[in-house]
Amino acid sequence: MMTVNHRKEEFILDFFFMQPMVQGQTDGVANLRSRVIVTPEHLKRIANALSENIRKYEEKFGAIRESDDFPRALH
């Protein structure tokens, strides 16, 4: 799981590990594993690099199907 927050000077990417649900548990437990803080300019370079690599991957292996079995937003 990942969340993205931002303010004028920076983007904050929080990566969480979602604990497997145990019997009788109604809510999952997510633990923060990593936080990446980058400038808007650097995040744009990261996004462009990811887009380019996804394009190359799909050219080679076919389209990546997006999963639709989880919520897009937490709130």
Task: Provide block-wise average pLDDT over 10 residues at a time, the chain (75 residues).
Answer: 95 91 72 97 98 98 86 53
Radius of gyration of the chain (CA): 16
For residues 3 and 10, the answer to whether their CB atoms sit within 8 Å is: no
Tokens of 16: 């969480």
Tokens of 14: 């929080």
Across the chain, how many H-helices and E-strands are there?
A: 1, 3
Residues in the chain: 75
Predicted TM-score (pTM) of the model is 0.72
